[in-house]
Structure formats: C-alpha cells, structure tokens
Chains A and B, each alone.
Chain A
C-alpha cells in the first residue's frame, strides 16, 4: 500500500496570503489528523477529520481550517498568514482511531 502523501512538500508565502495544503491518506483509512511542528512549540494537534466531518480540533485560531472529501483526502487552509505560521505541517491517517501513520510533511515558510 502506498503511504500517506502530502503536497506540496515546500512552500514559500508572504504575510497576509493564504495557503492550502493537501493530504492523501493510506488507502482504506478514513481518519486524517493534522499537526503543526515548530522548534518552539513542538508538535501540536490542529484537527481531525473522519468521513468528511471534523471530530476534533486543537487550540488554534480560526485562520486554520480544514476539510475532508468523500475519498478521504484532506486539505487544510491557513488564511492571513503570519510569520509564526512558518512550520512543518504533518498529516497522519489511521484506519480506526489508534495508530497514526504520517506523511512526509509540508514545510511552509512565511516571509
């Protein structure tokens, strides 16, 4: 089975712009979770989607949003980018709600 894929792998944006990141889960996995990784804050949970429904959300501002499609692919969007949004964004998929398998991440740099 193919692993979790994320696109794009690298992204450079400027403050105030918006960005959309994409995640394709392992075939058959219906749950997709998103995490932000920064040197200062470590790994923080953003949100989780299952069957096109957001079931859980971390403590991030409303500028961070996401969605999931009927094929379980997920996107996350960050609007009005700030310098502090520079991070590695990881998505993970799981079949049930336990073991998560991660994608390679999208590295976002906000200038």
Chain B
C-alpha cells in the first residue's frame, strides 16, 4: 500500500515571499503520478500541479513548481510570490499509473495549512 506524509501541519508566509511545502511518499511502484491540490476555506479541492514519475523534469505552473526527487521519494511544492489567495490547505496525493487496484484512487497526505499574511 502507498502512503503519503506531509510533515508540516501548518506553515505561514508573508505576501510576495516564497514558501516550500514538503511531501514524502512510500511506494514500490515505478510508474505513478503525484499531485498537489489546494483546498481553500470554501472546501473546493483545486488541482495545483501534476508530475508524472517517468518525467525527470520538474513540473511548473506559473508561480507553482515542484522538486521531484524520485529516489528519495520526495515531492515538494514551491510557491513563489505568495498571494493572499494562496491561503488554503494543501494536499499532496499519489496515484499508481497502472490499472487494477489503482483505478481512480488518490492517496492523500494529511495536508498542510498555509496562511499568507499581508
């Protein structure tokens, strides 16, 4: 079974600064996807970024980028130029690439509450 661990229950950052959220995972799989989702106070789960394990290049989406270290099973999220609207709970999630018992199943970490201060 896969496990995802987010060791930072809470983080805070000043507006316009950079913050990094940590995530580690445990799996014996070689092909998988990793995701970061954010859940603001509205509780709507929003996709932030996706990384395919077979790609060595780190994914980037505007102010959001990841540091994917496959051998270390680490997948951190960097938010640059933090904005007040980035305040949310951030979840790291894992999905196996192949079918079978992986169908449609995301395994989530416990989440990190990020607060951006003005």
Write the residues of chain A forming the contact surface with B, with a CB cutoff of 8 angstroms: 31-33, 35, 42-43, 45, 48-50, 55-56, 58, 88, 90, 92, 94, 97-102, 104-105, 107
Write out, one digit per residue, whether chain B residues 38-62 have a CB within 8 A of any chain A CB (1) or not (0).
0000111111001000000000000
Selected contact of A98 from candidates B37, B43, B95, B111, CB within 8 Å: B95
Judge whether A56 and B50 touch: CB under 8 Å: no
Known: A43-B108, A45-B105, A56-B103. A104 touches B47 (CB 8 A): no
Q: Bound state CA distance, A90 and B44, in angstroms?
A: 9
The count of chain B contact residues (Cβ–Cβ below 8 Å) is 25
> Which residue on B lies nearest to A49, using beta carbons?
B104
Judge whether A55 and B104 touch: CB under 8 Å: yes
Selected contact of B107 from candidates A45, A94, A107, CB within 8 Å: A45
Q: Which residues of chain B are within 8 angstroms of A58 by Cβ–Cβ distance?
A: 105
Contact count A vs B, C-beta below 8 Å: 67
Would you list 24 pairs from A and B whose C-beta atoms are within 8 A, ordered by A residue? A31-B103, A33-B106, A42-B109, A43-B106, A45-B104, A45-B105, A45-B106, A48-B103, A49-B104, A50-B103, A55-B103, A55-B104, A56-B101, A88-B43, A92-B106, A97-B95, A97-B99, A97-B104, A98-B33, A98-B50, A100-B47, A101-B47, A102-B45, A105-B44
Q: Which residues of chain A are within 8 angstroms of B45 by Cβ–Cβ distance?
A: 90, 92, 102, 105
**CB of B7 within 8 Å of the partner chain:** no
Q: Which residues of chain B are within 8 angstroms of A100 by Cβ–Cβ distance?
A: 47, 104, 106
Selected contact of A50 from candidates B46, B50, B104, B110, CB within 8 Å: B104
Judge whether B108 and A31 touch: CB under 8 Å: no
Q: Bound state CA distance, A100 and B110, in angstroms?
A: 18
